């Protein structure tokens, strides 16, 4: 429970795309902003924050268990290495991890995500069953491990149980090393509803489809029908790899995003994860639908996926968010930097995301504000940021960070994203509760010990 009548005062805050001075912020007991008012002298009873503040971002795509694999796939022992060979090695981790280990790994990840500036995480959750593929007596066993981890770390969670039925377009069933992922439409809807029924604090739920290759057209249609009238988000991996595009063309005669736009009732609830390989016509179709796109720059770089057509996505006005996905990076500043730098390398231009024609000459501002709005939708929120009614989340900037020294206020966001390395956020407020203070997570040391224990056990199981 948030402190009743939490009253804060920040010397500066990022409000509505601008730095504003002397900002009063008051949170309600249920962890929402009741008042955000700039140009206000500090009341005597207000807690004065140690630096400027920005809103927390939503991490719109996460596979928490893959935090146990980060750093373990950076060697090549064969003639080539790509997404598909990485995936086979990742599956071996997925087959070993149990509920207690998942909780420990996820808690470590979620604590790191908070320190990296995320205050809500969308968990694309397909690790449903026991190691042998048998169903747990409680079908929410693995989901509950994630909820406990989020509660322990203090981060908000949007749980997205995943529809996962087959290994590929030409295969009717899953591979044996995918046995823990098996689910049908009824499963996914039931798990979503059960997660909501528990009414855990700051836990939302939607649904997900692993990919077009992993679910039949009939099942995708059935899930969309089952979600008719439900406001929860619907996420899907799509067009991440050129191999996936080629397989979809061979199987359906259409590209993945082309097929989805023509055959599924996509709308503002839908989030297309990766969408790395998209044609202008496909981007325009997504824009017309109102759906959003979730880009995971560090993972897409790490796996050799490619770079998205960011200028076209932005110009089309498609809602955009970012995610940590495989967990090789756990901070949104690095994701935004990687997103822009991939464009600069590809196009041989600078400040690709900036839009001076629209009055936004700051690349960091355009990307941050896009991710702020797009991430809220991806997580299932109608209000987000430093606004009355939104979750009482914020990040306090370390004013002594060397990246900010000597810079005018107007360039602080630019420096936070593009002048690296930067220190983690000094303090993090989530749902009206301080979860990071003076760079320290309250439960960080205990969470780290449990993580090491889990990693040692996983290594012993290998």
Say how far apart CA 13 and CA 52 lie, in whole Å.
Answer: 6
- pLDDT of amino acid 4: 58
- pLDDT of amino acid 1: 37
Q: What is the CATH number of domain 57-379?
A: 3.20.20.140
Pick the CATH number of 6-55+390-445 from 2.30.40.10, 3.40.50.2000, 3.40.50.300, 3.30.56.10: 2.30.40.10
H-assigned helices in 154-275? 185-197, 217-226, 242-252, 256-263
Say how far apart CA 261 and CA 358 lie, in whole Å.
Answer: 29
Domain boundaries, the chain: 6-55+390-445, 57-379
CA 234 remoteness from chain centre: 14
Cα–Cα distance list, 439 to 3, 57, 108, 202 (Å): 21, 18, 15, 23
Instruction: Report which secondary-structure segment, H or E, holds 337.
Output: helix 332-347
The answer to whether the beta carbons of residues 214 and 164 sit under 8 Å apart is yes
What does the block give as tokens for 234?
Answer: 């619907």
- pLDDT of amino acid 461: 66
The verdict on whether omega for the bond into residue 393 sits within 30 degrees of 0, i.e. cis, is no
- Which positions are catalytic? 274, 325
pLDDT tens digit at each of 462 positions of the chain: 344 579 999 999 999 999 999 999 999 999 999 999 999 999 999 999 999 999 999 999 999 999 999 999 999 988 988 998 999 989 999 999 999 999 999 999 999 999 999 999 999 999 999 999 999 999 999 999 999 999 999 999 999 999 999 999 999 999 999 999 999 999 999 999 999 999 999 999 999 999 999 999 999 999 999 999 999 999 999 999 999 999 999 999 999 999 999 999 999 999 999 999 999 999 999 999 999 999 999 999 999 999 999 999 999 999 999 999 999 999 999 999 999 999 999 999 999 999 999 999 999 999 999 999 999 999 999 999 999 999 999 999 999 999 999 999 999 999 999 998 888 899 999 999 999 999 999 999 999 999 999 999 998 765
């Amino acid at each position: 429970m948030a402190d009743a009548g939490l009253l804060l005062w920040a010397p500066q805050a990022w409000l509505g795309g601008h730095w504003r001075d002397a900002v009063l912020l008051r949170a309600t007991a249920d962890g929402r902003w009741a008042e955000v008012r700039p140009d206000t002298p500090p009341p005597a009873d207000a807690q004065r924050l140690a630096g400027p503040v920005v809103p927390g971002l939503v991490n719109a795509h996460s596979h928490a268990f893959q935090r146990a694999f980060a750093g373990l796939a950076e060697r090549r022992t064969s003639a080539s290495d790509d997404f598909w060979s990485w995936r086979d090695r990742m599956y071996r981790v997925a087959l070993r991890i149990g509920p207690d280990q998942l909780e420990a790994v996820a808690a470590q990840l979620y604590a790191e995500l908070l320190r990296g500036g995320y205050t809500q995480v969308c968990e694309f959750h397909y690790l449903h069953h026991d190691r042998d593929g048998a169903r747990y007596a409680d079908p929410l066993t693995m989901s509950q491990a994630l909820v406990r981890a989020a509660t322990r770390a203090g981060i908000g969670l949007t749980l997205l149980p995943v529809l996962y039925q087959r290994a590929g377009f030409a295969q009717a069933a899953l591979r044996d090393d995918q046995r823990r992922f098996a689910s049908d439409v009824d499963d996914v809807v039931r798990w979503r509803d059960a997660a909501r029924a528990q009414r855990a604090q700051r836990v939302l739920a939607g649904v997900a489809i692993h990919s077009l290759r992993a679910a039949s057209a009939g099942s995708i249609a059935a899930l969309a029908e089952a979600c008719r009238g439900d406001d929860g988000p619907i996420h899907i991996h799509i067009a991440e790899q050129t191999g996936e595009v080629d397989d979809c063309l061979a199987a359906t005669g259409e590209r993945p995003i082309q097929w989805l736009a023509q055959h599924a009732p996509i709308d503002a609830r839908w989030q297309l994860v990766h969408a790395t390989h998209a044609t202008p016509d496909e981007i325009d179709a997504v824009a017309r639908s109102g759906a959003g796109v979730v880009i995971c720059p560090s993972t897409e770089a790490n796996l050799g996926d490619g770079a998205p057509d960011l200028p076209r996505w932005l110009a089309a006005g498609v809602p955009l968010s970012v995610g940590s996905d495989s967990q090789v990076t756990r901070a949104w500043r690095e994701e935004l930097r990687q997103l822009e730098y991939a464009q600069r390398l590809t196009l041989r231009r600078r400040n690709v995301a900036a839009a001076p024609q629209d009055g936004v000459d700051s690349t960091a501002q355009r990307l941050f504000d896009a991710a702020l709005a797009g991430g809220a939708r991806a997580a299932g929120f109608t209000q987000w940021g430093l606004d009355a009614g939104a979750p009482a989340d914020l990040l306090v900037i370390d004013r002594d960070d060397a990246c900010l020294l000597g810079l005018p206020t107007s360039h602080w966001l630019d420096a936070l994203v593009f002048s690296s390395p930067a220190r983690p956020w000094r303090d993090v407020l989530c749902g009206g509760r301080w979860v990071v203070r003076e760079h320290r997570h309250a439960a960080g040391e205990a969470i780290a010990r449990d993580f090491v224990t889990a990693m040692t056990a996983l290594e012993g199981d290998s």
